[in-house]
Amino acid sequence: MPKLTLFTAPKPFTDDHIARIQSNAIRSWLHLGSDVEVLLVGDEEGIADFAAETGVSHLLDIERNELGTPLLNSIFRLAQERAKSSILCYVNTDIIFLNDLLQTVPRVSERFNHFLIVGQRWDLNVEKLLHISNDWEQTFRRRLERDGQMHPPTGSDYFIFPKGLFLNLPPFTLGRAGWDNWMIFAGRADRLSLVDASEVITAVHQNHDYSHLPGGQPHYRLPESKENIRLGGGREAVFELPDANWKITRVGIRRTRITEVGISRWLEAGLIARAGPGKRARLIHRTFHPLDTVTYYIRAAFRRLKRIFS
């Protein structure tokens, strides 16, 4: 019986670079051994062939929005219905995991019953298929230390949680911004133990462009990203990794210190998480950001004047 189910929704395998980095990522997960189950979700071109080649499970019947973009609530639901493990991990298909993933998850699950593990990623240029063998990690870590860059602590590319959580996600669109920040917010709002594992889980993002997206634009510029933020409850529900209330380090698990996030943000995030999205959260945000509040009301006044005199 696997101890962890990794699930992902790959892009089409039609672009050579995307196909390589997705292959690198999935093969790195499979190299973790029999403790890991891998589920590929979706019907994009090439997924079925890759699943057959590697022997991993392939889940179809994914739901999409009116533009044809896969919906995350469908992906999460399908994975939870099929997963053999009691702990799941959604991960983007360009992320390489190393063995410290399996060393970290039991430490958290033994401490907490209801948790969400998130973390920063490393960014690295990977242009070729990796030769993933018994001794590959040592060489790869040396390369990562030399050439990799730690990504800012904004969102997360993976989410680890017990089966049964996140069964009712909003219909977020895959591959667009905002939903990962909502997951961090939801972890706080649902009183989960929200654990930042950046120090102990090596998650490596293989750099790529945005040619697979409409107009080649970054995902955060697309209208579907704005819709994700709206579905999540607005800008106030855009939480980042410093808003996690626990950290796991090499020496143990501890609460996030106020000094690590700043007292103002510590108070604001705690109050918004308790209030939930909506008018109360907007009021809290405006209280903690007076300059933004003044700007908001000035712009509103100009809009009213423009309507009056137009």
Question: Given this model, what pLDDT does residue 291 score?
Answer: 78
Q: What is the CATH number of domain 4-248?
A: 3.90.550.10
Which residue, chain included where needed, has tokens 């020496």? 251
Q: How far apart, in whole angstroms, are the C-alpha atoms of residue 188 and residue 49?
A: 39
Asked if residues 70 and 9 have their Cβ atoms less than 8 Å apart, the reply is yes
Give the residue from 54, 48, 52 showing the smallest Cα distance to 23.
Answer: 54
Phi, psi of 117 (to 5 degrees): -100, 130
Asked if residues 76 and 161 have their Cβ atoms less than 8 Å apart, the reply is no
Question: Given this model, what pLDDT does residue 209 score?
Answer: 67
Residues 6 or more apart from 285 whose CB is under 8 A from it? 235, 236, 268, 272, 292
Phi, psi of 40 (to 5 degrees): -100, 125
Residues of the chain with pLDDT under 50: 217
Question: Given this model, what pLDDT does residue 135 score?
Answer: 86
Question: Given this model, what pLDDT does residue 38 score?
Answer: 98
Q: How far apart, in whole angstroms, are the C-alpha atoms of residue 73 and residue 69?
A: 12
Question: Given this model, what pLDDT does residue 309 score?
Answer: 74
Query: What are the residue boundaries of the structural domains of the chain, listed by start?
Result: 4-248, 278-310
The strands making up 253-255's β-sheet, listed across from edge to edge, are 57-59, 36-41, 4-8, 87-91, 158-162, 115-118, 193-196, 246-248, 253-255
Q: For 167-202, what is each residue's pLDDT tens digit?
A: 999 999 998 999 999 999 999 999 999 999 999 999
Q: For 215-250, what is each residue's pLDDT tens digit?
A: 554 555 678 999 999 999 999 999 999 999 999 999
